[in-house]
Amino acid sequence: MAKISIDHDYCQAHGRCYARFPALFDADEEGKAVVTGDGTLPEATEESEITGVCPEAAITVS
């Protein structure tokens, strides 16, 4: 099952991920993204929709 993850070395706190997908991402105290829950990609969601939301390419699905 595909899992969403964040590379914290690349995340620059743009916030697009948790603005667009609030059920999948949350912000830490610095505004950087964290994956909520177990990070499972929802069935109705395309991998490219998730990864494409981040301008820093910090989100991966594998």
Of the candidates 4, 21, 24, 33, which one interacts with ligand F3S according to CB under 6 A? 33
Minimum CB separation of residue 5 from ligand F3S in Å reads: 10
Looking at the Cβ atoms of 32 and 41, the one nearer to ligand F3S is: 32
Looking at the Cβ atoms of 9 and 43, the one nearer to ligand F3S is: 9
Total residues contacting ligand F3S by CB under 6 A comes to 15
Looking at the Cβ atoms of 27 and 42, the one nearer to ligand F3S is: 27
Q: Are 31 and 13 spatial neighbours (Cβ–Cβ below 8 Å)?
A: yes
Q: Any residues with CB less than 8 A from the CB of 58 and at least 6 apart, and which? A: 6, 7, 8, 10, 11, 12, 33
Angstrom distances, CA of residue 46 to CA of 8, 24, 32: 22, 13, 22
